[in-house]
Structure 1
Amino acid sequence: MLIVSNYHYIREDFSAKYPSIFGLTPEKFRRQLEELAKHGQFISQEELLKFRGRSFDKNYILITFDDGLKEQYELAKPILDEMGIPAVFFINTSNFKEANVSLVHKIHMVRSQLASEEILQALEKKDTSPLSDKEKKQAIDHYNYDDERTAILKYVLNFKLTLQEQENFISPLFDALFEAQKVASELYFDKKTLGKLHGEGSLGSHSHTHVPLGQLASEDLRKELKMTQSFFMENFGKISETISYPYGSYEACRGISEEIENAGFKLGFTMERAANKSLQEDSLLLSRFDCNDLPLGKNDLFNGKNIFTNPLLRKWHSNESSLTHKR
């Protein structure tokens, strides 16, 4: 069986005017790794690729990071190296090819300086349609670490507005508060780091521009995948075999497996909170837990029990319309 733990921000200090992210300090990161080591054996990206189409011979744990944040390399990587634990770092290639700031990080940074209620009121002035009761529940369930108004704000931004509408709304707020070029240079890996991680077999794609792939038109999806694979080929001489899907929700991963496989990817990771029994049936819709869902996290779903003792098993892959990735 395989359980995947996913991380974003690793910082010594998460204080902000309006705290907007849920990460771990290096010390808490180390403690969680020590706890996870009691449950199973850590596995590398290269080792996991060998299990495509096969059952697992023991209980494995894969450590992953999304977004290619510099703090992951500076604060988390030394701990991983010291403990002899492999990991995969998934990057949005536009951050390096175009030196831009991903919309998702613009949102995080704006929300750190402006209250959720203030941003929601600004959105309402733009005549955005209110959420239904069902959508409000979906928002609260998906963003289960946030208060209700913040969860609703995130849902509206990520799932009700088009990408262009999000950009048009958030970018002026971001530009008024931050200098984009300075943020990009301070927030993301540099080219030297990318080379080191790729040389270690620890780099994967998080798409090109951090968009919900399942909501793109087919032509736009193919373009997005072509651009991220072109970056890997141009910089490392080979395409990426692994991808984690931005946002990771069911809607963000639905109906894309055929194009993902056509683009050359062999492993794909969602944010379905579940364990992976094997890779016999599917390797492009693998489930992951947020680190906060695991032992010592803010919302330990296992209540102190061994994470491999009767966990929920992934189901999203069974609903995938495209069956070309089935093994």
Structure 2
Amino acid sequence: MRNKQQPAKPSFLLTFDDGLSEFYEIIAPILIQKGIPAINFLNTAFIDNKNLFYRYKASLLINHIKENPQLNKLLSVFFADNGFANNNLYNIILSINFNNRKLFDKAAKICNYSFEDFLQVKKPYLTSVQINELSKQGFLFGAHSINHPKYSELNLQEQIRQTQESVEFVKNKFEQPYKLFAFPFTDFGVSSELFNKFFNHENHILDFSFANAGLKNDEFCRNIQRIPMEGTSASGKKIIKTEYLYYLLKAALSKNSVIH
């Protein structure tokens, strides 16, 4: 990859984001049986179920309100008092971004809902013990930032901090051979300056980074664009065929590369 050389035979790299416990319970046994390796990208703040992705908090809060409709008016007033006024409470909750994520904890307290109880009962994330076991079984691990912000909403220094701290944590704690990182959400809107910091030859932060723009070339050969396999009812086979078709069509127009 560093030399832009193609593999000798057709191959693919399977990756999973967010470090969810289903990887250990369901996915890994299937991959081991079939002899397929994979990389799992972890949000370091969520390992061992210590915290929860803010978008998950939004979904849980909406479900709680649906089960307890009497909370609708109370929470509408709460969000309005915090600058979020809308006729639809669910739209308000879904519009809250990373920088305002603490509102979810306050809202949960108001309506007597506990994200901590959810984490302890459901245990949605991988534990350190599970990660070490999976690592011994041949799976690789990288970082997915500390707590899953959208990078285009962060300044450069915070982008670097989120990346460097999470990557170093994963590499050192779980004795990983590479510094690997997958952007949370997307690398859209991220400047070339960040990638130059990532791959600086003298003091590189990363060995490779991964994004989700589909089958495309990238301005930085060590930033690998992945094909998203979620959010659609199409089969994996159809998704890959479609990506190849788009790639070839865009190649004719010189539009199959990501420029940052």
Question: What is the TM-score with the length of structure 2 in the denominator?
Answer: 0.72
1:80 paired residue among 20, 31, 43:
31
Question: Does 2:11 correspond to 1:70?
Answer: no
Does the 8 A contact of 1:64 with 1:88 survive in 2? yes
Larger Cα Rg: Structure 1 or Structure 2?
2
Does the 8 A contact of 1:229 with 1:240 survive in 2? no
Give the residue type in structure 2 aligned to 1:202. L
Structure 1 residues 89 and 172: CA distance shift in structure 2, 3 A: same
Unaligned runs of 5+ in 1: 1-49, 131-148, 321-327
d(CA) in 2 for partners of 1:121, 1:249: 33
Question: Does 2:142 correspond to 1:204?
Answer: yes
2:83 paired residue among 102, 112, 127:
127
Q: Is the partner of 2:15 in helix, strand or coil?
A: strand
Question: Does 2:104 correspond to 1:183?
Answer: no
Structure 1 residues 306 and 181: CA distance shift in structure 2, 3 A: same
Structure 1 residues 166 and 76: CA distance shift in structure 2, 3 A: same
1:234 paired residue among 172, 178, 188:
172
Which runs of structure 2 are paired with 1:247-326 in the superposition (5 Å)?
A: 247-248=185-186, 250-251=188-189, 253-255=190-192, 256-262=194-200, 263-272=204-213, 274-276=214-216, 282-293=221-232, 295-296=234-235, 302=239, 306-307=241-242, 309-312=244-247, 318-320=258-260
* Shift, 1:125, TM fit: 5.4
Describe the superposition over 1:279-322 as per-residue Cα deviations: whole angstroms up to 9, x where unpaired: 7952215233133447427xx975xx8356423379696421xx
Structure 1 residues 150 and 79: CA distance shift in structure 2, 3 A: farther
d(CA) in 1 for partners of 2:12, 2:42: 20
d(CA) in 2 for partners of 1:121, 1:285: 42
* Shift, 1:92, TM fit: 0.6
Give % identity.
17
Question: Does 2:181 correspond to 1:246?
Answer: no
* Shift, 1:232, TM fit: 2.4
Does the 8 A contact of 1:99 with 1:181 survive in 2? no
Give the residue type in structure 1 aligned to 2:63. S
Give the residue type in structure 1 aligned to 2:166. T
1:194 paired residue among 108, 114, 131:
131
* Shift, 1:98, TM fit: 8.7
| Match in the other structure for 1:92 | 43
Does the 8 A contact of 1:204 with 1:243 survive in 2? yes
Give the residue type in structure 1 aligned to 2:225. L
Q: Is the partner of 2:223 in helix, strand or coil?
A: coil
Q: Is the partner of 2:133 in helix, strand or coil?
A: helix
Q: Is the partner of 1:108 in helix, strand or coil?
A: helix
Does the 8 A contact of 2:142 with 2:181 survive in 1? yes
Structure 1 residues 257 and 197: CA distance shift in structure 2, 3 A: farther
Which runs of structure 2 are paired with 1:98-113 in the superposition (5 Å)?
A: 99-113=50-64
Does the 8 A contact of 1:95 with 1:184 survive in 2? no
Describe the superposition over 1:116-168 as per-residue Cα deviations: whole angstroms up to 9, x where unpaired: x96995645533488xxxxxxxxxxxxxxxxxx978864x323xxxx33222x
Describe the superposition over 1:16-43 as per-residue Cα deviations: whole angstroms up to 9, x where unpaired: xxxxxxxxxxxxxxxxxxxxxxxxxxxx
Structure 1 residues 63 and 207: CA distance shift in structure 2, 3 A: same
Describe the superposition over 1:28-63 as per-residue Cα deviations: whole angstroms up to 9, x where unpaired: xxxxxxxxxxxxxxxxxxxxxx56522344443332
Give the residue type in structure 2 aligned to 1:311. Y
Q: Relative CO higher for 1 or 2, CA cutoff 8 Å, sep ≥ 6?
A: 1
1:164 paired residue among 92, 99, 102:
99
Question: What is the TM-score with the length of structure 1 in the denominator?
Answer: 0.59
d(CA) in 2 for partners of 1:153, 1:260: 34
Give the residue type in structure 2 aligned to 1:84. G
d(CA) in 2 for partners of 1:51, 1:150: 46
Structure 1 residues 84 and 312: CA distance shift in structure 2, 3 A: same
